[in-house]
Amino acid sequence: MPIFPSMRAKSAFKKARKKVELFKKTQKKALLPPGTPVHIGDIPDFKPYVTIHTYGPDSPYEELKVENNAIEPMLRAMPLETRTNWVDVEGIHDLSVVKTVSSVFDIHPLTQEDLVNTNLRPAFESFPGYYYFSLKMIYTQPDTGVLQQEHVSLILRGNTVLSFQEVPGDVFSVIRDRIAKGIGKVRTRGADYLAYMLLDAIVDGYYQITDHIGEKIEALEDELRLGAREGHLERIYDIKREVLFLRKNIFPVRDMVNKIQVEGSVFAENSRIYITDLYDHIQQVAESIAIYTELSTVLLDTYHAQMNLRMNQIFKVLTMFSTIFLPLNFIAGIYGMNFEYMPELHSRQAYPIVLGTMFLIAFGMLGWFVWKGWLFENRLGRNPRRTRLRGSETAGPAAHSHRNS
């Protein structure tokens, strides 16, 4: 099973899910004051760390991975004003790491609360001194193929971009390579262009997921044309659940990008055209999901129609056999009456004559049903009577022209 969108294994989570998870429990947030960071979601099995990327148009690219007590001193030593910085935090389940990074960059407590809430809806918010982006990175589990989401937060603050992820492994590897090798415009642009590239990478990952769902729908549709079978209903409901999962996590991203466009001051003038292109991409993904929603409903209706057709075929066969036995029961009922004077009962030929008549009636009616195309129609693959009529209609004009010649 392919892993979308990331080709890096998402093995940090302890428990593999057997079906798409649409809702997460949020009881831990009850009765707590606003701005209290509480991690909501699965706790992965790895030690959090921070990766610092710094670069500039005329300065070399530097990458540094830090953990534990080395995080705060390294962040405070970063050249915030002269270079573009990308601080990638992987492991938001450790609140101490999130609070440390937030304290260095003066992140509001409400934003800290949203950083560790993996059930947060994709959104965009403007705070004094920075902008906050929240969205979902979607991929399939490598062992079960079930869709899973990862909560990703981005903060754009001056020349620095902060990214917060649940587990290692993402769709940003291409961006890291571009920065390291100086490919494209990323080294000559500011932090706002880097934030756009991170957003665009996540949205591009949606294309792979929607294409995968579309292939599953087409394959199941081809199978249903051949007839509904055991297991189809479960697969249809799995697809409907996956489409609802995508609808829940991707549709708000469209509103988020639209809000960014309305804000106007988030990105520089030379980067705003890319945000318009990003909106077009997410709009296309949303339209695909809307189409898949309709197609999944059509699949369910087709399955029920196929099952009803199969049931009607069964009842039709039972009805025809009941019709065959109706005259036989009538004959047996007549000669089963205990009348004293019935001349046929004293004849030696009466029994074989009656029995032969019953067989003749039964096989005659059975042959008539087959000739009408009411019985064994699926096995024959055609209606004999209709085929014969079409043959005569086709041969009619040819024979008439032959006689005229």
Average pLDDT over residues 133-155: 89
E strand spans, 287-350: none
Tell me the C-alpha distance between 399 and 264, whole Å: 79
The CA dihedral of 175, 180, 181, 182, to the nearest 10 degrees, is 80
Q: Which helix (H) or strand (E) holds 50?
A: strand 49-55
Provide the whole-model pTM: 0.77
- Angle, CA of 182, 76 and 122, to the nearest 5°: 70
- What is the pLDDT, as a whole number, of residue 317? 82
Cα distances (Å, whole numbers) of residue 343 to 80, 180, 377: 118, 109, 44
Q: How many CB atoms lie within 10 A of CB 217?
A: 21
Q: How many residues does the chain have?
A: 405
Residue 347 has pLDDT above 70, yes or no: yes
Question: Under CATH, domain 27-304 is a member of which superfamily?
Answer: CorA soluble domain-like (3.30.460.20)
Q: Band of the pLDDT at 8, cuts 50, 70, 90?
A: very low
End-to-end CA distance of the chain: 67
- What is the pLDDT, as a whole number, of residue 23? 64
Given a contact cutoff of 8 angstroms between Cβ atoms, the answer to whether 168 and 243 are in contact is: no
Query: Tens digits of per-residue pLDDT, 23-61?
Result: 666 556 666 788 888 888 888 888 999 999 999 888 888
Q: Per the structure block, which two tokens stand in for 349?
A: 């030929």
Q: Which helix (H) or strand (E) holds 95?
A: helix 95-104
- What is the pLDDT, as a whole number, of residue 378? 52
For the chain, the domains span: 27-304, 344-405
Q: Which helix (H) or strand (E) holds 318?
A: helix 272-335
Average pLDDT over residues 56-68: 87
Query: Tens digits of per-residue pLDDT, 360-404?
Result: 988 888 888 888 777 766 554 444 444 444 444 444 444 444 444
Given a contact cutoff of 8 angstroms between Cβ atoms, the answer to whether 158 and 191 are in contact is: yes
Query: Tens digits of per-residue pLDDT, 252-276?
Result: 999 999 999 988 888 888 888 999 9
Query: Tens digits of per-residue pLDDT, 167-219?
Result: 888 889 899 999 998 888 888 888 999 999 999 999 999 999 999 999 999 99
Tell me the C-alpha distance between 219 and 212, whole Å: 11
- What is the pLDDT, as a whole number, of residue 25? 61
Query: Tens digits of per-residue pLDDT, 222-234?
Result: 988 888 888 899 9
Average pLDDT over residues 230-251: 92
Query: Tens digits of per-residue pLDDT, 282-329?
Result: 999 999 999 999 999 999 998 888 888 888 888 888 888 888 888 888
Average pLDDT over residues 333-358: 79
- What is the pLDDT, as a whole number, of residue 345? 72
- What is the pLDDT, as a whole number, of residue 389? 42
Q: Which of 389, 201, 213 is nearest to 288 (CA)?
A: 213
Query: Tens digits of per-residue pLDDT, 73-116?
Result: 988 887 777 789 999 999 999 999 999 999 999 999 999 999 99
Given a contact cutoff of 8 angstroms between Cβ atoms, the answer to whether 43 and 105 are in contact is: no
- What is the pLDDT, as a whole number, of residue 185? 85
